[in-house]
Amino acid sequence: MSQIAQKPKALELLKQLIGEWTVGIALKVNEENVVSGCGEMSAVEIADLGVNSEIDTHIEGYDDYYENDLWSLDWATGKVHLFGMTSEGEAHDHVGIWTNENTLELYWRGTFEDQEMEEKITAKWVTKDQIELKEVNLELGKIRFTTKYVFKRKEA
């Protein structure tokens, strides 16, 4: 497939996010400790240019967490951008690519609380109604925590 044909396809793949979702969460903070949570996500199209999603989550032992994300395609490079703003005051621009029609890999590197941080996100569309997302957070090259999300589309 030519690069020209791939770009609209990449945007169409992002539009699979549009809709209302329930979210199951497993946060692994170390080998012995995994905490669970749940939430909801709502995603709408932005003028045929991308997707705006809002997620509201509740994880046992943690403050409620809210995130607003803009998903878009950089037409010049063909890369996907996930620009997120969190209830913790963080703003990250994850950049990545579709590795196939079901899997999106994104990466961010920056600082948080004066520490070098990295986030690696892999989102896999299992079906049109289920997405599995894994986020690995690294500090100074070592895994700080891993979060797994399962998004299930709400019935209309």
Residues 69-80 pLDDT 10s = 999 999 899 899
Per-residue pLDDT band at 3 (split at 50, 70, 90): very low
pLDDT of residue 1 exceeding 50, the answer is no
**Length reported for the chain:** 156
Q: Which domain holds residue 116?
A: 3-153
Look at residue 8 in the predicted model and tell me its pLDDT: 77
25-34: long-range pairs with CB below 8 Å, 24+: 25/57, 25/59, 25/147, 25/148, 25/149, 26/147, 26/148, 27/59, 27/62, 27/145, 27/146, 27/147, 28/145, 28/146, 28/147, 28/148, 29/145, 30/145
Structurally, the chain folds into a number of domains equal to 1
Look at residue 71 in the predicted model and tell me its pLDDT: 97
In the 8-state DSSP scheme, what is residue 58? E
Measured CA to CA, the distance from residue 151 to residue 125 in angstroms comes to: 9
Query: What number is the average pLDDT over the span 1-28?
Result: 82
CA dihedral 123→128→155→82, nearest 10 degrees, is 30
Look at residue 10 in the predicted model and tell me its pLDDT: 86
Q: How many CB atoms lie within 10 A of CB 100?
A: 9
H helices of the chain, in order, are 3-14
Measured CA to CA, the distance from residue 25 to residue 36 in angstroms comes to: 5
Query: Tokens at residue 54, please?
Result: 């809002």
Look at residue 41 in the predicted model and tell me its pLDDT: 98
pLDDT of residue 2 exceeding 80, the answer is no
Residues 84-120 pLDDT 10s = 999 988 899 999 999 999 999 999 999 877 788 999 9
Q: Give 36 or 112, the one with higher predicted confidence.
A: 36
Look at residue 112 in the predicted model and tell me its pLDDT: 75
Look at residue 7 in the predicted model and tell me its pLDDT: 64
The enclosing domain of 111 has a CATH number of 2.40.128.20
